[in-house]
């Protein structure tokens, strides 16, 4: 049923699916950061206030999702068979393994079998997998032992958190500042670590972080 409560709940669910707060989702979509605040969901006299179709279109575009996915959230059903409604089990890989040769194919998907598996509450696709943070290079955002769910096939945009593996075997979690056909610019999550500029021929693969166990 299309109700005021379910539409706003779907916006919250879409934000959570892409590791964002309602405010973060609004900002990513180019809207005022308070656009989806609880206080904006009813008028001063208590009447329900609905989000505009323009704002809905913007958040769907900003998350690279679809109208079908959003309607699925309204109806509390999964987008498709690859997105279970009650979480998922995905392969768990350590950053040290991710940096070693032979564990991934050219597209950044885990190769082979026998991985440890981990249950995650986030909705994931069949190509998602988990990377376990090791060390303190990603503080203060990600701590040692945190689990990041990455989606190799997802479209990445400026401002997305991503995991990048270089051809030399270095694996890092950064914020994508810019991506061209020839190079990427990455902003470090930890101010004590430098930002990086990499030519595309130095990049083995790049995957978007879609969820973190924080």
- Taking only the tens place, the pLDDT of each residue in 129-168 is 888 888 777 777 788 888 888 888 778 888 888 989 898 8
Cα within 13 Å of Cα(117), Cβ side: 6
Contact between 18 and 157 (Cβ < 8 Å): no
Supply the range of the domain harboring residue 129: 88-212
Q: Are 48 and 98 within one domain?
A: no
Sign (positive/negative) of CA torsion 99, 101, 104, 108?
positive
At residue 164, the 3 state secondary structure works out as strand
Residues 69-113: tens digit of each pLDDT: 788 888 764 444 333 344 567 777 776 666 555 556 555 556 555
Q: Whose structure tokens read 């990086």?
A: 196
Domain annotation covers residue 83: no
Q: Quick count: other Cβ atoms within 10 Å of Cβ 83?
A: 18
End of a domain among 48, 74, 100? 74
CA distance 211 to 124: 9
Q: Which structure tokens are listed for 53?
A: 């179709």
pTM: 0.54
CATH code where residue 30 lies = 1.10.260
The radius of gyration computed from the CA coordinates of the chain, to the nearest angstrom, equals: 18
**Structural domains of the chain, count:** 2
Note whether residue 134 is domain-resident.
Answer: yes
pLDDT tens digits along 167-204:
888 888 889 999 998 999 999 888 888 899 999 999 98
Last residue of a domain, one of 47, 74, 101: 74
Same domain? 140 vs 56 = no
Q: Confirm whether 80 is domain-assigned.
A: no
Provide the 8-state DSSP code for 192: T
């Amino acid at each position: 049923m299309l109700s005021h409560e379910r539409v706003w709940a779907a916006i919250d669910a879409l934000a959570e699916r892409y590791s964002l707060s309602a405010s973060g989702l609004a900002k990513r979509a180019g809207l005022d950061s308070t656009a989806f605040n609880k206080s904006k969901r009813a008028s001063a006299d208590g009447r329900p206030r609905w989000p505009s179709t323009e704002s809905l279109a913007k958040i769907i575009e900003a998350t690279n999702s679809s109208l079908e996915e959003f309607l699925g959230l309204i109806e509390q059903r999964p987008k498709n068979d690859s997105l279970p409604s009650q979480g998922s089990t995905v392969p768990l890989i350590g950053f040290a393994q991710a940096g070693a040769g032979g564990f991934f194919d050219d597209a950044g998907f885990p190769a082979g079998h026998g991985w440890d598996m981990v249950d995650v509450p986030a909705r994931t696709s069949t190509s998602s997998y988990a990377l376990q943070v090791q060390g303190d290079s990603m503080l203060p955002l990600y701590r040692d032992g945190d689990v990041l769910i990455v989606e190799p096939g997802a479209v990445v945009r400026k401002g997305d958190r991503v995991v990048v593996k270089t051809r030399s075997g270095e694996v890092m979690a950064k914020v994508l500042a810019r991506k061209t056909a020839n190079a990427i610019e990455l902003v470090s999550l930890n101010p004590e670590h430098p930002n990086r500029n990499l030519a595309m021929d130095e990049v083995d693969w790049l995957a978007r972080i879609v969820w973190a166990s924080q």
